[in-house]
Amino acid sequence: MFVLHVTSLVTGGKLVVTKAVTGGGSFEKRKEIMRNGLAGFAAILVALTGCGDSDVRSIEAAVKARLVDPDSVKFGSVTFSPKGESACIEYNAKNRMGGYSGQTIASLEYGTDGWKVDQMEWRADLCPRGGKFIAR
């Protein structure tokens, strides 16, 4: 019997997956399970988000356009609605006084003109998927 444990982190647009396989069986069999599990997990992650890097870049650009100091922004995690028509993204940027204002959430809607900011300060529990963000 094999137990497959998968944890993931998406950073800078790159998926980093750490895995551990425990149980009996040969090393080659465990390697095969890990390889197959990684491919399946990546497919599930893409299916769950329904949105790609270009959507994330568009969302980041829409938020930057609304900031006082767009070059100072540090983006965190993002979450998409199941159909991809809305999203929330965590961000922290400098305010007019030059200090970082703290982690904030922006809500965005997707329309015919692409991603548009709905609210620059939003509550996580009002975001798609109940605020369960996809780590980046």
Using one digit for the tens of pLDDT, what is the confidence trace for 78-88? 999 988 899 99
Instruction: Please enumerate in sequence order all residues whose Cβ is within 8 A of that of 133, keeping only pairs 6 or more positions apart, or say none.
Output: 76, 77, 78, 79, 88, 90, 124, 127
Residue 65 reports pLDDT greater than 90: yes
- Same domain, residue pair 18 and 43: yes
- Same domain, residue pair 102 and 121: yes
As a whole number of angstroms, the distance between CA 48 and CA 50 comes to 6
- Give 20's pLDDT tier (boundaries 50, 70, 90): very low
- Same domain, residue pair 59 and 126: yes
pTM of the model: 0.60
Q: Is residue 124 part of a domain?
A: yes
Q: Is residue 87 part of a domain?
A: yes
Instruction: Please enumerate in sequence order all residues whose Cβ is within 8 A of that of 6, keeping only pairs 6 or more positions apart, or say none.
Output: 17, 18, 19, 37, 38, 41
How many domains in the chain? 2
Find the domain containing 71 and state its range.
Answer: 53-131
Residue 24 reports pLDDT greater than 80: no
Residue 123 reports pLDDT greater than 60: yes
As a whole number of angstroms, the distance between CA 65 and CA 49 comes to 24
- Same domain, residue pair 29 and 61: no
Q: Is residue 136 part of a domain?
A: no
